Structure 1
């Protein structure tokens, strides 16, 4: 168990962590993507609902 934790610690030191400005940029991109996809599927769902109600 301790050997595993040592290996994890050693590997985590090798990780290239994003800088603050990169992290902010990536976070904004993810939030905008989620908002866009949510709006897209909401409009798609409303459109399908309207079509099915007219049938």
Structure 2
């Protein structure tokens, strides 16, 4: 009974994986580049915000 369920599960997984549309190398490169650039922009933005709050706290205290 359990073995049948496991077998059916893996058969279903295999058939679903055939339906997946995988990205091309170009799509993958573009997506990776976008993630890297956006991560850098967010890191710079958060660094500037942190620097600003640090200066404000130093002025207050």
TM over 0.5: yes
Indicate yes or no: 2:25 matched with 1:20. yes
Indicate yes or no: 2:41 matched with 1:36. yes
CA displacement, residues 1-55 of structure 1 (integer Å, 9 cap, x when unaligned): 1111111111011000011111100100011011110110011011001101100
The structure with more radius of gyration: 2
Q: Which residue of 1 aligns with 2:58?
A: 53
Indicate yes or no: 2:13 matched with 1:8. yes
Aligned length: 55
Partners in 1 of 2:22 and 2:44 — Cα distance?
A: 32
